[in-house]
Structure 1
Amino acid sequence: MNIEIKKMKSDEEIRGKAYVHWKSWQDAYKGVVAQDYLDGLTIEKCEDIAFKFPENTFIAKDGDKVVGFATYGKYRNDELTDAGEIYAIYVLEDYYGSGVGQSLMQASLGELDYPMIALWVLKENGRAIRFYEKCGFQLDGREEEINLCGPIKEVRMIFER
């Protein structure tokens, strides 16, 4: 395994990111998110998203294959001032525990010049919460209910420098 972490640039890399997005949701959220939502999240929808928002994205490549990605930027609402956000971080299941997620997180944190970084994670996604805790994030008690073909809770986690 020869993993390279780099900024996403080419159309091929954008399509690879879209595949990781789609496949990660199918694998990680089965039984957590409504199956109707997962069925409606097609590879084409993930490609549309990837091509619409290509900026601020690191990808992890194993040879020519995109195996993970992270997107980041300024916190998306006014609740936290002077804060950054990890918008998404996904790694293919075959690469869990390989250090790919850690490398993507470190690259993203290195780009965010804020004293506080936030992220949102599904409350029922214990594996992701444990990963974020290992990266230095802590639950801050903030919850929101979102609708993914049914209500589901997200919790916010904070990393302070």
Structure 2
Amino acid sequence: MTAGDSDEVAAMRVRGWRHAYRGLMPQAYLDGMDVAAEAERQRARLAAGDGSVVNLVAEAEDGTLAGWAAYGPYRDGEVRTGDGELYALYLPPERIGQGVGRTLLTEVTARCTAAGHPRMLLWVLKENVRARRFYEAAGFTPDGTEEPFEVAGATVPEVRYARPLTG
């Protein structure tokens, strides 16, 4: 991902949240998400990054972005551990089911394996059944850890998924 991709990635993330999280978090929050502000955050993160967070994009044949993933070391609060973590994986809703998400997840998993991470972790909304099935089909399993995610005054529980990686 480059800074030039920030606008498309931001639009994809906002559309992805509105599609995937409808009914799972406050609609007013989803409706209030601002693509321009998200794009600025994306550009700022890229500019300030230390290289530990990697952003990947999948490009469609027509040159538009078909997916985005971000990964890096697992964050346990402020401490980074030896594990890898998938921070984000979003597609435009019309790309769901076309293999783009699977391709991005496979690439992230391969890169975390090559980096020597013993396992890969990710967080998913507890009630996001579609995403949970997707990750389970890729070999991830819930490890029993749950955390509340606060969104616009509402608590939305997340569950952590893990997958051992082999070299």
How is 1:138-149 mapped onto 2 (pairs within 5 angstroms)? 138-149=141-152
Moved over 3 A (4+): 78-81
How is 1:4-43 mapped onto 2 (pairs within 5 angstroms)? 8-11=1-4, 13-43=5-35
One-letter identity of the residue aligned with 2:76: N
Residue matched to 2:121? 118
Residue matched to 1:69? 68
Between the two proteins, what is the percent identity of the paired residues? 34
Q: Which moves more between the two structures, 96-105 or 75-84? A: 75-84
Aligned-pair CA distance for 1:48: 2.1
What CA RMSD, in Å, does the superposition of the two structures yield over aligned residues? Answer: 1.6
3-state SS, counterpart of residue 109 of structure 2: helix
Q: Which moves more between the two structures, 120-129 or 22-31? A: 22-31
| Contact 2:123/2:161 (<8 A) preserved | yes
TM-score by length of 2: 0.86
Deviations 1:19-48 (A, max 9, x none): 110110111111111012112211122212
| Contact 1:144/1:154 (<8 A) preserved | yes
> Separation in 2 of the partners of 1:73 and 1:24?
21
> Separation in 1 of the partners of 2:93 and 2:31?
19
Aligned-pair CA distance for 1:10: 4.6
| Contact 2:119/2:163 (<8 A) preserved | yes
3-state SS, counterpart of residue 107 of structure 1: helix
Aligned-pair CA distance for 1:97: 1.1
TM-score by length of 1: 0.89
> Separation in 2 of the partners of 1:35 and 1:18?
18
